[in-house]
Amino acid sequence: MKGKTYSLFGDEVSADKYYITIRSLIDALLRLCPDKEKLLMHVQRAGGSRPGRKNISSIDNGLISSIKAEAREKLSAYTTGVKGHLRSMSLGQRMDPVLRTKEPQYHLYMLEIELVNRMYRDEFKRCDYKFALLPHCLRDFRPDCASVPADVEEACMGCTDECFINLGGELMKKYDIHPYISVNMDLEGLFRKLRSEHPSIGALGVACVPELAQGMRLCIKLGIPPVGIPLNANRCARWMKEARESSFDIRELEELIK
Candidate ranges 51-65, 154-168, 193-207; pick with highest mean pLDDT: 193-207
Let me know if residue 9 belongs to a domain. Answer: no
Let me know if residue 244 belongs to a domain. Answer: yes
Distance between CA atoms of residues 42 and 58, nearest Å: 10
Taking 70 as the threshold, does the pLDDT of residue 191 lie above it? yes
Structural domain harbouring 145: 16-257
pLDDT of amino acid 147:
64
Let me know if residue 3 belongs to a domain. Answer: no
30 to 34, 41, 213: CA distances (angstroms): 5, 13, 19
pLDDT of amino acid 18:
98
Q: 138 vs 56, which has greater pLDDT?
A: 138
pLDDT, tens digit (0-9, with 9 covering 90-100), for 75-95? 999 999 999 999 999 998 899
pLDDT of amino acid 56:
60
Taking 70 as the threshold, does the pLDDT of residue 60 lie above it? yes
pLDDT band at 211 (very low <50, low <70, confident <90, very high): very high
Distance between CA atoms of residues 193 and 187, nearest Å: 10
Let me know if residue 58 belongs to a domain. Answer: yes
Taking 70 as the threshold, does the pLDDT of residue 42 lie above it? yes
Residues contacting residue 22 through CB under 8 Å, at least 6 positions apart: 75, 110, 111, 114
Let me know if residue 73 belongs to a domain. Answer: yes
pTM of the model: 0.92
Total domains present in the chain: 1
Let me know if residue 8 belongs to a domain. Answer: no
| Angle between helices 16-32 and 103-126 in degrees, nearest 10 | 80
pLDDT, tens digit (0-9, with 9 covering 90-100), for 8-39? 999 999 999 999 999 999 999 999 999 999 99
Let me know if residue 190 belongs to a domain. Answer: yes
Let me know if residue 2 belongs to a domain. Answer: no
